[in-house]
Amino acid sequence: MEGSSGTWQGLALVSIVTWICLSSYLKLTQKFRSLVQPWVARQVVGGVPLILEIQKHQNGVMDAFFSGLSCVVSVPFYTAFLPLLFWSGHGRLARQMTLLIAFCDYLGNCIKDVVSAPRPSCPPVRRITATKDEEDNAMEYGLPSSHTLNTVCLSGYLLHYVLSFFEHEDASIRYYGFALACLLVALIAFGRIYLGMHSVVDIIAGLAIGVLTLGLWLTVNEKIDNFITSNQNVSSFWTALSFLLLFAYPTPENPTPSYEYHTAFTGVALGIVTGVQQTYSQFHHEGAPRIFSPELPVTAYLGRVMVGIPTILLVKVCSKSLAKWILPTVSNTLGIPIRSTTYITQLKLDNKGYGNEKNTDTTKNSAGYSQKLCEFLNQDSFDIDTGIRFLQYAGLAWSVVDLVPSLFSYFNL
| pLDDT given for residue 218 in this prediction | 92
Residue 356 lies in a domain: no
What's the CA gap between 21 and 9, in Å, rounded? Answer: 19
- Indicate the angle between helix axes 200-228 and 28-46, nearest 10 degrees: 130
CB 335 within 8 A of CB 366: yes
Average pLDDT, stretch 178-194? 91
Does 355 have pLDDT greater than 80? no
| pLDDT given for residue 346 in this prediction | 65
Residue 365 lies in a domain: no
Residue 11 lies in a domain: no
What pLDDT band is residue 347 in, cutting at 50, 70 and 90? low
Residue 267 lies in a domain: yes
pTM for this one?
Answer: 0.86
Active-site entry in 57, 90, 147, 285: 147
Q: Which candidate, 9, 3, 21, places its Cα nearest to that of 237?
A: 9
CB 247 within 8 A of CB 239: no
Average pLDDT, stretch 50-60? 87
What's the CA gap between 395 and 401, in Å, rounded? Answer: 10
Active-site entry in 57, 90, 168, 198: 198
| pLDDT given for residue 81 in this prediction | 84
Does 375 have pLDDT greater than 50? no
Does 357 have pLDDT greater than 60? no
Residue 70 lies in a domain: yes
Residue 34 lies in a domain: no
Q: Domain count of the chain?
A: 1
| pLDDT given for residue 296 in this prediction | 86
The range of the structural domain enclosing residue 212 comes to 43-351+370-411
What pLDDT band is residue 114 in, cutting at 50, 70 and 90? very high
Does 149 have pLDDT greater than 70? yes
Residue 25 lies in a domain: no
Q: Is 115 left (phi over 0), alpha (psi -120 to 50) or beta?
A: alpha
Residue 88 lies in a domain: yes
Q: Which candidate, 246, 251, 242, 238, places its Cα nearest to that of 23?
A: 251
| pLDDT given for residue 362 in this prediction | 40
Q: Which candidate, 216, 96, 225, places its Cα nearest to that of 162?
A: 96
* Least confident residue range of 51-65, 226-240, 341-355, 393-407: 341-355
| pLDDT given for residue 370 in this prediction | 43
Does 368 have pLDDT greater than 60? no
Does 4 have pLDDT greater than 70? no
Summarize pLDDT for 240-265 with one digit per residue, the tens: 999 899 888 888 888 888 888 888 88
CB 336 within 8 A of CB 367: yes
Annotated catalytic residue 198: yes
| pLDDT given for residue 378 in this prediction | 56
Q: Which candidate, 319, 303, 300, 315, places its Cα nearest to that of 400?
A: 315
What's the CA gap between 339 and 345, in Å, rounded? Answer: 10
CB 411 within 8 A of CB 307: yes
Average pLDDT, stretch 408-412? 87
Does 88 have pLDDT greater than 60? yes
What's the CA gap between 100 and 264, in Å, rounded? Answer: 14
